[in-house]
Homo-oligomer: A and B are copies of this chain.
Amino acid sequence: MKTGAPDDALRDAGLRATRQRLTVLDALRERPDAVTAQDLHMELRQAGEPIGLTTVYRTLTSLAEASFLDVFNREGEQAFRLCGDIHHHHLVCETCNKVEEIAAAEVERWVNEVAERRGYEVTGHRADIFGICADCRL
């Protein structure tokens, strides 16, 4: 029994701990990159996990709504990734799709300044960096 029981997130989200949902959560825990519902479903099926595409979609959507996942809108589709904190930014490797979280105090400062100067009430912001990680540059 390890810390951070696999179904804590589900309980917290008011979702029943079904085999399928646990499977999805486990898969997400092992990836540093963001996945698509389609891709995740295919991988799980290939790994022998019996789970329907619909369920993958529903599980990812529920977890994202409960703020357990980050949602990335790639062209045409959306990718999901486990996230700890509510607020953070990302460093994304465009080659392997790995996503690292980054702190951004500087950005927050800049956001507030700009918004105030232009008369906006801030409701959110995003600041992501795209690049090629050290491993992929080898």
Contact residues of A with B, CB < 8 Å?
71, 73-76, 78, 91, 93-94, 100, 102, 104, 106-107, 110-111, 114-115, 118-134, 137
Contact = CB atoms under 8 A, between A and B. Distances in A.
Q: How many copies does the complex hold?
A: 2
Nearest to A105: B110
Nearest to A135: B119
Nearest to A112: B129
A130 B124 CA distance: 5
Contacts of A106: 106, 110
A126 B128 contact: yes
A100 B137 CA distance: 35
A110 B102 CA distance: 11
